[in-house]
C-alpha cells in the first residue's frame, strides 16, 4: 500500500505508527493526520470509512499441522 501511494502520489508524506483506536480518532479530529488504517470501525460525524479487504486467516508455523488439531505426528 505504501509503495502504491508513494509511486502515485510522491508529494504525500507517509508514516506508520502503531497506536490505539482512541488515539487515532483524536489525531484525525485534531487535524494532525489526514488518514488512518485500523482494525475496527468507528462512527464519527464528517468522516468516511472504506473497507480495504477482508482478512483471511493464514496459519504460519514450523510445527507439524497435527499439533494444531491436538494430534502428535
Cell of 9: 502520489
pLDDT single digits (tens) 32-51 = 888 887 777 776 777 777 77
* Phi, psi for 39 (deg, rounded to 5): -90, -20
Kind and range of the H or E run holding 8: helix 2-8
pTM: 0.51
Name the residue ranges covered by the structural domains of the chain: 1-45
Confidence of residue 6 (pLDDT cuts 50, 70, 90): confident
Amino acid at each position: 500500500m505504501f509503495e502504491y501511494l508513494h509511486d502515485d502520489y510522491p508529494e504525500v508524506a507517509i508514516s506508520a505508527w502503531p497506536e490505539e483506536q482512541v488515539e487515532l480518532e483524536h489525531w484525525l479530529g485534531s487535524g494532525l493526520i489526514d488518514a488512518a488504517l485500523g482494525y475496527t470501525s468507528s462512527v464519527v460525524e464528517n468522516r468516511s470509512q472504506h473497507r480495504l479487504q477482508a482478512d483471511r486467516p493464514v496459519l504460519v508455523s514450523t510445527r507439524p499441522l497435527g499439533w494444531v488439531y491436538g494430534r502428535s505426528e
